[in-house]
Homo-oligomer: A and B are copies of this chain.
């Protein structure tokens, strides 16, 4: 009951603490680079607890997604998805807001997919609905003549890349001139970049 608010409070179950610790450490050091000992130490518990509560390291990974991945709620945007441009805007905003809201989880997703790790299948199961919808919108927009490109495959990846990689690379601060960037500014810029990239005339 008082269990759901602030995870740093003491009244959180050790199981949840382990989940949060794992999420944090996986995002910082990668799955392979993080040991079960480390996770439990960070969570303030004992090594054996991972086996007891989850039955192994990989199940901790799976549990993180089941617990913290949003995106089940794509249905609520069906209206916007009727129009490719609006649909893309909604999706771009949604994705970037999620990236900003849970940087840890988004880093984990990005890492696992680029490493093509043994956990790729798990991650794909959660991510595919979103990317799949984006692909649909690209195809719809091309058919209706509002987007202009040759290959759906190619622009699909260019779009995903622009969307995900830039977020990730912010970590490499030495590459940036100005440290803090405003989220809404980023979203606006990404929308402009991508929609223009798709050959779409935008009225701003």
**CB <8 Å contact, A175 and B116:** no
| Residues of A near any B CB (own CB < 8 A) | 30, 32-33, 110-111, 113-117, 120, 124, 131, 135, 149-172, 174-178, 181, 185-186, 188-190, 192-194, 196-199
Instruction: Identify A189's interface contact among B32, B150, B189, B192, CB under 8 A.
Output: B150
- CB of B196 within 8 A of CB of A131, answer no
From the candidates B114, B124, B188, name the one contacting A110 in the complex (CB within 8 A): B114
Tell me which residues across on chain B come within 8 A of A160, comparing CB atoms: 165-166, 169
27 contacts across the A-B interface (CB closer than 8 A): A30-B115, A30-B117, A32-B33, A111-B115, A116-B172, A124-B174, A150-B188, A151-B185, A154-B166, A154-B181, A154-B185, A154-B186, A154-B190, A157-B165, A157-B169, A157-B175, A158-B189, A158-B194, A159-B162, A160-B165, A160-B166, A160-B169, A161-B162, A161-B163, A161-B164, A196-B197, A196-B198
* Chain B residues with CB below 8 A from A159, complex form: 162
Nearest CB on B from A118, distance (A): 9
